[in-house]
A and B are shown apart, each in its own frame.
Chain A
């Protein structure tokens, strides 16, 4: 490890930069720019953004954790705090690590406390240049990278990538300001420490190869394209909206049709129409929009039309806290839709699981001809993380499209029956348009040939047929949770699902003798298999959930287990590994 001076307590192999300021001042851009800067230097990065549900005037922050080792979430202690305003400092001084460095403009406010400081004369610079405060973020970007002994040329490349579309002049201007900040930062760096603080680029890059920086929503978008999704519809709703904008921006390259429809009911019904006609289709939304889609999920269930739904959760009820995070819609998702029908719920916990589970969701929707919900949340959907490019390529290359029992006219024997009663519950699906045939996707109960019925016997036959798909799924596609650690030896076993995976894994590294069970295939659940798996840990289960009811916990309790502790958080914020560690240690 390199020696650092003024902030020798800081572990320069693993540090957190946090930038905060008024909404509208480019905090988002700077956060992502910092993430990309360090990822390009070969570091692992994780970025978490907080912003209120308004465009101007609120407080935005981005925290970017940088590490030489694999990381799964952010960390609590801030090592470098960039304060575009006083509020940032006041809100975060309690989170500053020992030896933390505060970047600020003394003209903006004063820092009386005894922290290491980098005073950046932002206002002065802007006055000299006659420019608006919109360039402050570039000054600070330069300052922090300069302070850490970073590379100005790499900063320039970054700014080109970010601002190229806005024109050469915008790039130049941002770079000029970044350069001035860089000078301030690097002069401090030289005074404090003549050696390189950051690990040399080549060293880490050789170790890990090129990296990509991606949010959960971008992962969804990418893998949806890779899975041959050709129709995506949505109505903007945080935190799902960036899927809509990402896929819409890619339309020219992908040929996908991306629809911003009039409301979420229109959204899912358009997607269902497209799916009926034969193209893989998906929709994305958050709780409120999902609620509007629920009747149509039920239609997809009875008419047996494949559909993939991204449900990116935010805290409810109702409009709730639109830009914050929660896992409060799990039971709603599982139970969504009137009547009884098969529905699959998959919960990715990180970017890699997102890339893997989304194509699986499209396959399962086709195989079982039923809705598949991919449940995410703001924390997973909008946080970015570095991931090796080769790994992403490998996942994407290995995607196999399985359209289930999709048949062509020449495979039809005798008469074609859209809802043919079969042993596995799945009826062969002929795409509409085949000459010589016709059938309906009927929202009423129907006969095998798809005509409406209200007779008792065929009703029971069709219900049983549809229900048999659940059994078929459990036998063929259900996957048990991933187990980290040793369930038998562990003192306690944490049970979780979805985005709590990152903080849980980071917490586990700090603890001896704990294990973690991470569920991805949430519903339907193979009760017997899960029971068997958890049995050895039955007296030491701890529940970890980002909600107040312990929703997934209630499913596990339904299997006859109980928890010695429930770690629940529902303040709109994600878990930090540190708080999980503290909570678990209190058990010992």
Chain B
């Protein structure tokens, strides 16, 4: 069995108290508990404070461009579907810059896990609003308050075809570890949105703010019923409460499972195609 130590790279440079610390610990612990080692898991990091985990977590990794991590992860998965592929992204990265990839990856049900550090700000670029900021939030880029409604990531994922949608909280590491494990073990596209206080740039969505408003899901969840799942999320939003746990889960063939090319071997293991004469016939 591996150890947390094996997964630990550089000492993190996150602000003291930042939620990223606990998410980092939770990911490493989950990997250890899943029996992974740094050579047996592929991780794609976005660009942001969250993505800076690239130097703190040992694994075969791509430190992607801002917003593009999910697309990289899909490519990795299709090339070598035997390895677990996990994305560590910020909310700006995943829901803003990379929104198109996110929406369509749900549709494809690619067997990847997307962990989003939802801190409702752009941390690394010093605190502008992010797609999940609440309406009216004032920031450097929105001095009058943001006009847009927040992006509804959980609902979008459920509607778009993700087969596993969960929410965790950086203030509850044991629960988060369990969610990460479930998300990675799930076959298909898993979204784990993690409520992550940014202690430096967000004085509203603090640990205390969340502690007063989070609640763990009970026996009815996860549900395979989209309507029920969305109802729960919508109701919680209205009440300004945050469900924690696996909200929606359904068993659906993954993208790779539907590719006859991958029935026997992974793309990278396969032999080179030998005889091309059949292809030439088309041109005669």
* Segment at the interface with A among B206-214, B223-231, B268-276: B268-276
Q: Find out whether the CB atom of B75 lies under 8 angstroms from the CB atom of A272.
A: yes
Q: How far is the CA of A437 from the CA of B67 in the complex (A)?
A: 27
Q: Find out whether the CB atom of A442 lies under 8 angstroms from the CB atom of B63.
A: yes
Q: How far is the CA of A259 from the CA of B77 in the complex (A)?
A: 13
Q: How far is the CA of A491 from the CA of B267 in the complex (A)?
A: 55
Q: How far is the CA of A451 from the CA of B11 in the complex (A)?
A: 12
Chain B window 13-48, contacts with chain A (Cβ cutoff 8 Å), 1 for yes, 0 for no? 000000000000000000000000111101011010
CB contacts (< 8 Å) of B65 on chain A: these are 269, 295-296, 299, 443
Complex partner residue of B273 from A228, A231, A274, A296, CB under 8 angstroms? A228
Closest B residue to A258 using CB positions: B261
A228-B272, A279-B268, A392-B280 as given contacts; A440 in contact with B63, CB under 8 Å = yes
List which A227-254 residues lie within 8 A (CB) of chain B: 228, 230-231, 233, 250-254
Q: Find out whether the CB atom of A273 lies under 8 angstroms from the CB atom of B63.
A: no
A263-B100, A389-B280 as given contacts; A270 in contact with B75, CB under 8 Å = yes
CB contacts (< 8 Å) of A281 on chain B: these are 75, 79
CB contacts (< 8 Å) of A434 on chain B: these are 39
Q: Find out whether the CB atom of B280 lies under 8 angstroms from the CB atom of A218.
A: no
B47, B62, B72 — most chain A CB neighbours (10 Å): B72
Q: Find out whether the CB atom of A277 lies under 8 angstroms from the CB atom of B39.
A: no
A257-B78, A263-B100 as given contacts; A433 in contact with B267, CB under 8 Å = no
Chain B window 254-279, contacts with chain A (Cβ cutoff 8 Å), 1 for yes, 0 for no? 00000111100001101011001011
Complex partner residue of A276 from B10, B76, B103, CB under 8 angstroms? B76
Q: Is B158 an interface residue (CB 8 A)?
A: no
Q: How far is the CA of A392 from the CA of B52 in the complex (A)?
A: 50
Closest A residue to B260 using CB positions: A252
Complex partner residue of A254 from B64, B78, B101, B273, CB under 8 angstroms? B273
Q: Is B74 an interface residue (CB 8 A)?
A: yes
Q: Find out whether the CB atom of A255 lies under 8 angstroms from the CB atom of B273.
A: yes
Q: How far is the CA of A253 from the CA of B274 in the complex (A)?
A: 11
Q: Is A160 an interface residue (CB 8 A)?
A: no
A262-B104, A269-B68 as given contacts; A213 in contact with B283, CB under 8 Å = yes
Q: How far is the CA of A226 from the CA of B277 in the complex (A)?
A: 11
Q: Find out whether the CB atom of B268 lies under 8 angstroms from the CB atom of A270.
A: no
Q: Find out whether the CB atom of A270 lies under 8 angstroms from the CB atom of B78.
A: yes
B38, B79, B100, B272 — most chain A CB neighbours (10 Å): B79
Q: How far is the CA of A50 from the CA of B80 in the complex (A)?
A: 42
Q: Is A291 an interface residue (CB 8 A)?
A: no
CB contacts (< 8 Å) of A210 on chain B: these are 284
Contact residues of A: prevailing secondary structure: mixed
CB contacts (< 8 Å) of B278 on chain A: these are 253
State how many residues of chain B have any CB contact under 8 Å with chain A: 53
Q: Is A439 an interface residue (CB 8 A)?
A: yes
Closest B residue to A273 using CB positions: B75
Q: Is B215 an interface residue (CB 8 A)?
A: no
Complex partner residue of B61 from A266, A269, A299, A438, CB under 8 angstroms? A438
Q: Find out whether the CB atom of B79 lies under 8 angstroms from the CB atom of A274.
A: yes
CB contacts (< 8 Å) of B60 on chain A: these are 432-433, 437-440
CB contacts (< 8 Å) of A266 on chain B: these are 68, 71, 74, 100-101, 104
A295, A396, A433 — most chain B CB neighbours (10 Å): A433
Complex partner residue of A440 from B62, B67, B272, CB under 8 angstroms? B62
Q: Find out whether the CB atom of A225 lies under 8 angstroms from the CB atom of B279.
A: yes
CB contacts (< 8 Å) of B163 on chain A: these are none
Q: Is B167 an interface residue (CB 8 A)?
A: no
Q: Is B54 an interface residue (CB 8 A)?
A: yes
B44, B52, B54, B62 — most chain A CB neighbours (10 Å): B62
Q: Find out whether the CB atom of A303 lies under 8 angstroms from the CB atom of B78.
A: no
Closest B residue to A218 using CB positions: B283
Q: Is A261 an interface residue (CB 8 A)?
A: yes
Q: Is B50 an interface residue (CB 8 A)?
A: no
CB contacts (< 8 Å) of B268 on chain A: these are 230, 277-279, 431, 433
Q: How far is the CA of A275 from the CA of B268 in the complex (A)?
A: 10
Q: Find out whether the CB atom of A214 lies under 8 angstroms from the CB atom of B283.
A: yes
Closest A residue to B97 using CB positions: A265
Q: Is B150 an interface residue (CB 8 A)?
A: no
A432-B60, A443-B47 as given contacts; A273 in contact with B284, CB under 8 Å = no
Q: Is A441 an interface residue (CB 8 A)?
A: yes
Nearest-Cβ distance from residue A249 to partner chain B, whole angstroms? 9
Q: Find out whether the CB atom of B283 lies under 8 angstroms from the CB atom of A274.
A: no
List which A125-178 residues lie within 8 A (CB) of chain B: none
Q: Find out whether the CB atom of A278 lies under 8 angstroms from the CB atom of B101.
A: no
Complex partner residue of B42 from A211, A228, A261, A277, CB under 8 angstroms? A277
Q: Find out whether the CB atom of B63 lies under 8 angstroms from the CB atom of A231.
A: no
Chain A window 55-83, contacts with chain B (Cβ cutoff 8 Å), 1 for yes, 0 for no? 00000000000000000000000000000
Q: Is A421 an interface residue (CB 8 A)?
A: no
A230-B270, A279-B268, A451-B10 as given contacts; A257 in contact with B47, CB under 8 Å = no
Q: How far is the CA of A442 from the CA of B39 in the complex (A)?
A: 17
Q: Is B55 an interface residue (CB 8 A)?
A: yes
Q: How far is the CA of A132 from the CA of B6 in the complex (A)?
A: 72
Q: How far is the CA of A545 from the CA of B9 in the complex (A)?
A: 53
Q: How far is the CA of A261 from the CA of B107 in the complex (A)?
A: 11
Given contacts A269-B65, A269-B75, 13 further A-B contacts (CB under 8 A): A228-B272, A250-B279, A252-B260, A253-B279, A255-B261, A265-B101, A266-B68, A266-B71, A269-B72, A272-B75, A278-B79, A437-B39, A440-B61
State the A residues within 8 Å of B (CB). Answer: 36, 40, 210-214, 218, 222, 225-226, 228, 230-231, 233, 250-257, 259, 261-263, 265-267, 269-279, 281, 295-296, 299, 303, 389, 392-393, 396, 401, 431-444, 451-452
State the B residues within 8 Å of A (CB). Answer: 9-10, 37-40, 42, 44-45, 47, 52, 54-55, 58-65, 67-68, 71-80, 83, 100-101, 103-104, 259-262, 267-268, 270, 272-273, 276, 278-280, 283-284
Closest 5 CB pairs of A and B: A273-B75, A269-B71, A432-B60, A277-B79, A273-B72
Give me 16 A-to-B residue pairs in the complex whose CB atoms sit less than 8 angstroms apart, sorted by A's number.
A213-B284, A231-B78, A255-B270, A262-B103, A266-B68, A273-B79, A277-B76, A278-B268, A279-B79, A281-B79, A392-B280, A393-B280, A435-B37, A438-B60, A452-B52, A452-B54
